[in-house]
Structure 1
Amino acid sequence: MTTIATSRSSMSNKDWLTADWPAPPNVRTLITTRAGGVSAAPYDSLNLGAHVGDAAEAVAANRAILRERLPAAPAWLNQVHGVAVVDAAELGNAAPDADASFARAPGVVCAAMTADCLPVLLCDDAGSVVAAAHAGWRGLCDGVIEAAVAATQAKPATLMAWLGPAISPDAFEVGPEVRQAFLFKDPAAEAAFIGIDNGKYLVDIYLLARQRLGKLGIERVYGGDFCTVIDRDRFFSYRRDGVTGRMASLIWLEN
């Protein structure tokens, strides 16, 4: 514990991100990178995932570092690649099986934890509701974005979205069953898949998310220019490393 405390005091979070979008001033965001924590390799250094094999005390220290930048502890979820959405204000210390959360109360922090999957942040023009969704390909295909939008109870035309760090189409290779699953839901998804020599496909998860948002009537979509696999110095990547940490994309309403 002494080593962790000493390391924590020397760390910086200057490499963390915020959403680049024209959100109302009371909408706040924070997107962690792999920098600024205390975990040892292969979780180095700001691993926020308690389920990936990292030392529990290191994860606790990393979450404490993050907490210093937030109005409250994040409403962590036990993400299961599904479509369930919960009210972050009602969670307390629970971590329910869900892949998205929303908040209307100020100071309640929604969180999506990722390491290649797509984090989607949402807010409305009035700054009255925010949401965060964890969209791996299964959840994206099954409708987690649609579920998160519905949970906000906002008119889609009043919503904007920001797509956070995820695997890019240069690195996201999938089998034909993934393509078929998306095409079954929407034939327009074919534009997101490029066939390669081994019978598999490179898929643009950012485009798939934009398509889903567009069909809902959400035209203002920002972000989507990252690659967690290629940018190894900045991001954790399960596809690249297998055993690795988790980042968080967070959104809340300021008091």
Structure 2
Amino acid sequence: MPDAQTAVPGFEPDWRLPPGVQAWQTCRGSGPLPYGGFNLGHHVGDKPALVAANRARLLAQVPSHPTWLNQVHGTTVLELTQAGSDATPEADAVWTGVPNVVCAIMTADCLPVLLADRLGRVVGAAHAGWRGLAGGVLEALIRQMTEKGAGRAADLSAWLGPAIGPSAFEVGPDVVEAFMTLSSDNQRFFSAVAPGKWHTDLPGLAAQKLRALGVTDVTQFNGCTYTQSKLFYSYRRDQVTGRMASMIWMNA
């Protein structure tokens, strides 16, 4: 869990990584609502100077500026070959085979998925909200990582980061239909709570999909962004809120 004494509010995932690969998950930090003390999103209405200061502070934890994405719940994957700049490319997944280049995903309920090749050749990250997950963002990311770097999906290890939990993620029939169209096995991740309403296990859906794609080494964070308000941002809980970052990189 987060250490209050760290320079950057957050924690290292409890995940067995190959030598030379590191990951970090930020938290909201302490500070006035609605953004708390460590919002990293420029697009949520927070003061730009505060966000810029938080992003600069992040360099105490990571080796270079991350490439911040314009995430649109799609399936576009971007290969990173250098440290981030002022550009904000539109994509929902990134990967790299270059040391000290940071892959980062911002979330506030959606599921962040980090991937690492067990031989330390490539790392990647995906923004897996229900639309991206149903649309194939994990398939697209794994395809690029294996074709250009890792070789096989079986060589990848995955970490599912903080996301809205099954008891808090209420959805309508459109979400159920999207996943049932993919596989009838997905039914077990939906629990009816009212007419036309279901609770949904988003991490469970992602874990099943990863295993179906050949990624059998999957570690899942045990928590919920919606209920753990002191630790995490949650768009569904607060509407106006900040964004956290899930990051992974290879050391030089």
* 1:82 alignment counterpart: 74
* 2:172 alignment counterpart: 175
Q: Deviations over 1:77-130 (max 9, x none)?
A: 110000000012257422111000001010000001000000000001101100
* 2:138 alignment counterpart: 145
* 1:30 alignment counterpart: 24
* 1:195 alignment counterpart: 192
Matched, 1:103 2:100: no
* 1:231 alignment counterpart: 228
Aligned-pair identity in percent equals: 49
C-alpha distance in 1 between matches for 2:38 and 2:8: 13
Deviation at 1:13, TM superposition (A): 3.8
Task: Check whether the contact 2:64–2:83 (CA below 8 A) recurs between aligned residues.
Answer: no
Deviation at 1:169, TM superposition (A): 0.1
Matched, 1:159 2:129: no
Q: Deviations over 1:36-73 (max 9, x none)?
A: 6xx64210110000000000000000101112211100
* 1:123 alignment counterpart: 116
C-alpha distance in 1 between matches for 2:238 and 2:75: 26
TM-score by length of 1: 0.92
Q: Please say which of residues 84-93 and 123-132 is displaced more in the overlay.
A: 84-93
C-alpha distance in 1 between matches for 2:80 and 2:68: 9
Q: Please say which of residues 116-125 and 191-200 is displaced more in the overlay.
A: 191-200
Task: Check whether the contact 1:84–1:98 (CA below 8 A) recurs between aligned residues.
Answer: yes
TM-score by length of 2: 0.93
Amino acid at match of 1:114: T
Deviation at 1:179, TM superposition (A): 0.3
Instruction: Give structure 2 stretches of 5+ with no counterpart.
Output: none
Q: CA RMSD for the aligned pairs?
A: 1.6
Matched, 1:45 2:37: yes
Distance 1:27 1:135, change over 3 A: same
Q: Please say which of residues 231-240 and 153-162 is displaced more in the overlay.
A: 153-162
Amino acid at match of 1:25: P
Task: Check whether the contact 1:12–1:35 (CA below 8 A) recurs between aligned residues.
Answer: no
Amino acid at match of 2:17: A
Aligned residues: 244
Spell out structure 1 runs of 4+ moving beyond 4 A: none
Task: Check whether the contact 2:9–2:38 (CA below 8 A) recurs between aligned residues.
Answer: no
C-alpha distance in 2 between matches for 1:119 and 1:206: 9
Task: Check whether the contact 1:13–1:35 (CA below 8 A) recurs between aligned residues.
Answer: no
Instruction: Give structure 1 stretches of 5+ with no counterpart.
Output: 1-10
C-alpha distance in 2 between matches for 1:201 and 1:177: 11
